[in-house]
Amino acid sequence: MTDATHGSAADKSVTTDPSGPMLAADGTPLKTSLNRALRKQKRRALFLIAPLLVFILVTFIYPIGEMLFRSVENQIVGDTLPRTVRVLADWDTEASDIPGPAVFSALAKDMMVATEEKNHTRLGSRLNYEASGLSSLFRKTGRGVDDVGEGYTEQFVALDPAWEDPQTFIDIFAGPRWLDANAEYDGEGPRPTFRLAAGIGEVLPQTASIYRDFARVVQTEDDDNPAEEEPWNTVYLALYEDLQAGAVIPADMAHADMLNAAQVAAASFTTTDVLADFVSFDKDWADRDVWRIIQTYSAPYTTGYFLNSADLQLTPDGVAWRPENERVYVTLFIRTLIMSTAITVSCILLGYPIGWLLANLPSRQANLLMILVLLPFWTSLLVRTSAWKVLLQDQGVINDLLVWIGVVADDNRLALINNATGTIISMTHILLPFMILPLYSVMKTIPPSYLRAAKSLGATNWTAFWRVYFPQSVPGIGAGSILVFILAIGYYITPEIVGGTKGVFISNRIAYHISTSLNWGLAAALGAILLVIVLGFYWAYDRIVGIDNVKLGG
């Protein structure tokens, strides 16, 4: 009876066809049914972890990726000086000392837009990273660029006063859709985006381009109506250049008669030396090296930040070493690695005996010692570091104690602060718990009977420790070393306070560029290199020791 019951249940769940695949109860192949069930389980698991995954992507992965992207991003030059970059691409640096008039004309238009949008100072700061003095160059130019082309404005207005009327330019350049939207605008919400009239870009390309920028800036930056604002002087400069270039004015174009008359008169206009205008702002505009730097860094992406991180620089002539007095980053990287290694070794030497005591003492005493190990976590890092600054200084507690017991003379006190020694001492104290805890958790799992068995077989205390106990504690050493080394290599508060000029890490320079110099591109490049170095050490450790041997206990 029992066998018949089980057989009936099996027939309901799986059907076996000798001539075909095994089928499930619903008639589908068993393999297909199992795959469908497995996919459902995976989707359910993905649904459960999706909130955490999204949180990590949004708050951790994306910000880090965005920051690291700054190490190669260089779009500010092309975005701020688009016309200049296009024309400058054809400049032969060997054929002339400085670019021709077309580049300066494009620069006048770009600088006018950048000044109104307050972007010229950001551009100057970016280029100042490559050559000092460029920041002030762009600031000075921004204060006077609105006068470039003023001579053409006066001559157009003298030819016909209608050229001074903003409505004239609206009639010529504004598209009908914008005219209708602007007429209906009631002051609520953003103004309708300015649109050019169809075909005007082919007739007067330079003027249409700069007038569109003028209208956009008036709307977005000043919240005004372009139909009520007189155009910039650079608009008249562009209009003169278009007419002189032989623009063909259609007969049905608005103000075609005015444009034709202006085209005839423009042949006798007094020309403005735009180059001389810029040189009057700052003589560095006549410096060939300035233009070569702008040309070199006009690409949207650059290796310049990474080269600077290696004490190199990207010059118009290629990659070259930075001046000897500016080569600091390779030294800082080497110092960071050496000192982080020294801190890690110090933590091993001090933490191993403590971990052994914690693992072998009775529970009551071990718990008391564990509280003392964890006690520093309850104190602010800044307070602990400041305390070491008091302890290590020339007239501090440690030197006073050494003088009192006669180890050092009063006039020959030890230099323990503002150097590498102070950094290693203070950071060893701060990071020591991160070494002790992994060691303790692994040592706690080593049975004491192993040592007793080794001694019963004739091993000495040292042999029993070295051949039996120590190999089993290596996973704890590995876990603690990785933890301490990675934490040490990224520390910057403690080295900044007690390290002086000889005990700071590369992380201090990264913090400086992020918060003080605002050179985020260089900070991102330094951080990326530091990340690669850490991953390299992690890979080497995995190849030599094996990451599977790293344990936190159990």
pLDDT digits (tens, 9 = 90+) for 486-497: 999 988 899 999
Which two tokens mark 533? 């170095």
> Has residue 317 been placed in a domain?
no
DSSP 325-357: GG--HHHHHHHHHHHHHHHHHHHHHHHHHHHHH
- 124 with 65, same domain? no
> Has residue 520 been placed in a domain?
yes
Which two tokens mark 209? 């381009």
- Strand-pairing partners, residue 73, are 301
How many structural domains does the chain have? Answer: 4
Quick one: average pLDDT of 306-327? 88
pLDDT bracket for residue 526 (50, 70, 90): very high
- Cα–Cα distance for residue pair 523/38, rounded to 1 Å: 46
- Cα–Cα distance for residue pair 140/120, rounded to 1 Å: 10
Q: Provide the CA 189 distance to its chain's centre, in angstroms.
A: 35
> Has residue 304 been placed in a domain?
no
- 412 with 524, same domain? yes
Quick one: average pLDDT of 172-192? 89
- 58 with 94, same domain? no
- Cα–Cα distance for residue pair 304/264, rounded to 1 Å: 49
Give the contacts of 145 (CB within 8 A, at least 6 positions apart): 108, 111, 112, 115, 234, 281
86 by DSSP, 3-state: which?
Answer: helix
Lowest model confidence (mean pLDDT) among 4-13, 258-267, 506-515, 516-525: 4-13
- 383 with 495, same domain? yes
- Cα–Cα distance for residue pair 126/191, rounded to 1 Å: 32
459 neighbors 473 (Cβ within 8 angstroms): no
- Cα–Cα distance for residue pair 280/145, rounded to 1 Å: 11
Q: Over 80: is that where the pLDDT of 409 sits? A: yes
> Has residue 309 been placed in a domain?
no
Q: What is the pLDDT of residue 5?
A: 46
Q: Over 80: is that where the pLDDT of 547 sits? A: no
Model-wide pTM > 0.85: no
- 404 with 514, same domain? yes
pLDDT bracket for residue 379 (50, 70, 90): confident
CB neighbours of residue 463 within 10 Å: 13
- Cα–Cα distance for residue pair 163/153, rounded to 1 Å: 8
- 535 with 396, same domain? yes
Q: Over 70: is that where the pLDDT of 552 sits? A: no
- 334 with 254, same domain? no
Q: Over 90: is that where the pLDDT of 505 sits? A: yes
In which domain, by residue range, is 196 found?
149-266
> Has residue 554 been placed in a domain?
no
Q: What is the pLDDT of residue 188?
A: 83
463 neighbors 413 (Cβ within 8 angstroms): no
Q: What is the pLDDT of residue 9?
A: 42
Which two tokens mark 418? 């503002």
pLDDT bracket for residue 549 (50, 70, 90): low
- 247 with 291, same domain? no
For 288-430, list the strands marked E by DSSP. Answer: 312-315, 318-321
Encode pLDDT of 20-79 as tens digits: 667 666 667 777 778 888 888 888 888 888 898 899 989 888 998 999 999 999 999 999
- 142 with 160, same domain? no
Quick one: average pLDDT of 143-171? 94
Average pLDDT in the chain: 89
Q: Which of 148, 157, 155, 172 is nearest to 226 (CA)?
A: 172
Q: Which residues of 185-194 are buried (b: 16+ CB within 10 A; e: fewer)?
A: eeeeeebbeb
What CATH number should be reported for the domain holding residue 369? 1.10.3720.10
pLDDT bracket for residue 548 (50, 70, 90): low
274 neighbors 105 (Cβ within 8 angstroms): yes
Amino acid at site 361? L
Say if residue 398 is exposed, middle or buried (CB neighbours under 10 Å; 0-12, 13-18, 19+): middle
> Has residue 404 been placed in a domain?
yes
Amino acid at site 423? T
- 53 with 186, same domain? no
- 232 with 342, same domain? no
Encode pLDDT of 195-247 as tens digits: 999 999 999 999 999 999 999 999 998 889 999 999 999 999 999 999 999 99
Quick one: average pLDDT of 451-476? 90
Which two tokens mark 199? 């075909």
- 345 with 248, same domain? no
Q: What is the pLDDT of residue 7?
A: 45
> Has residue 305 been placed in a domain?
no
Q: Which of 73, 284, 262, 60 is nearest to 161 (CA)?
A: 262
DSSP 214-243: HHHHHHHTS---GGGSPPPHHHHHHHHHHH
Q: What is the pLDDT of residue 4?
A: 46
Q: What is the pLDDT of residue 18?
A: 58
> Has residue 386 been placed in a domain?
yes
Q: Which of 40, 69, 98 is the last residue of a domain?
A: 69
Q: What is the pLDDT of residue 12?
A: 44
- Calculate what percentage of the chain has a pLDDT beyond 70: 93
Q: Which of 23, 52, 69 is the last residue of a domain?
A: 69
Q: Which of 45, 69, 93 is the last residue of a domain?
A: 69
- Cα–Cα distance for residue pair 256/535, rounded to 1 Å: 68
